Amino acid sequence: MPTPVITATDLVKRFGDFDAVKGISFEVAPGESFGLLGPNGAGKSTTMRMVGAVSPRTGGELSILGLDPNRYGPEIRSQLGVVPQSDNLDVELPVLQNLIVYGRYFGLPRALVKQRAGELLEFAQLTDKAKTKIDDLSGGMKRRLTIARALINDPRILLLDEPTTGLDPQARHILWDRLFRLKEQGTTLVLTTHYMDEAEQLCDRLVVVDKGQIMAEGSPASLIRRYSSREVVELRFGSARNASAAEQLAGVGERIEVLPDRVLIYADDGERALEAVRGRGLEAITSLVRRSSLEDVFLRLTGRSLIE
Ligand X SMILES: Nc1ncnc2c1ncn2[C@@H]1O[C@H](COP(=O)(O)OP(=O)(O)O)[C@@H](O)[C@H]1O
Question: Which residues make up the interface to Mg ion (CB under 5 A)?
Answer: 44-45, 85
Among residues 90, 177, 254, 268, the one that binds other proteins under rule CB under 8 A: 90
Region from 33-41, 67-75, 203-211, 218-226 binding other proteins, contact rule CB under 8 A: 67-75
Rounded to whole angstroms, the Cα distance separating 157 from 76 reads 10
Q: Identify whether the C-beta of residue 223 lies closer than 8 Å to the C-beta of residue 206.
A: yes
Helix (H) or strand (E) holding 207: strand 205-210
Q: Tell whether residue 23 is a contact of other proteins (CB under 8 A).
A: no
Nearest CA to 102 out of 58, 135, 72, 146 is that of 146
Cβ(51)–Cβ(64) below 8 Å: yes
Q: How many of the chain's residues bind other proteins (CB under 8 A)? A: 44
Tell me whether residue 43 or residue 69 sits nearer to ligand X (CB atom).
Answer: 43
CB of 161 to other proteins, least distance (A): 10
Q: Does residue 26 interact with other proteins by CB under 8 A?
A: no
Pairing verdict, β 157-161 and 188-193 = parallel
Binding marks (x or -) toward other proteins, 149..178, rule CB under 8 A? x---x--x----------------------
Q: Which helix (H) or strand (E) holds 223?
A: helix 220-227
Query: What is the sign of the dihedral through the CA atoms of 48, 53, 54 and 58?
Result: positive
Selected from 10, 19, 27, 68, the binder of other proteins by CB under 8 A is: 68
According to DSSP, the β-strands at 188-193 and 33-37 are: parallel
| Angle made by CA atoms 219, 59, 40, in degrees to the nearest 5 | 50
The residues pairing with 18 across neighbouring beta strands, listed in sequence order, are: 15
- Identify which range of 14-22, 110-118, 146-154, 300-308 contacts ligand X by CB under 6 A: 14-22
- Residue 126 or 145 having the CB closest to other proteins: 145
Does 69 interact with ligand X (rule: CB under 6 A)? no
Contacting residue, 23, 31, 94, 118, with other proteins by CB under 8 A: 94
When asked if residue 15 is in the footprint of ligand X (CB under 6 A), the reply is: yes
Identify how many contiguous H helices and E strands the chain contains and give both numbers: 11, 13
Cα distances (Å, whole numbers) of residue 251 to 26, 39, 260 = 38, 30, 20
Choices 78-86, 168-176, 257-265, 285-293; region in contact with other proteins by CB under 8 A: 78-86
Give CA–CA dist 238/4, Å, rounded. Answer: 49
97/165 with CB nearer other proteins:
97
Q: Note the residues at the interface with other proteins (CB under 8 A).
A: 3, 5, 15, 52, 54-56, 61-63, 65-68, 71-80, 82, 84, 88-94, 97, 100-102, 104-107, 149, 153, 156
Q: Which residues bind ligand X (CB under 6 A)?
A: 15, 18, 20, 38, 40-46
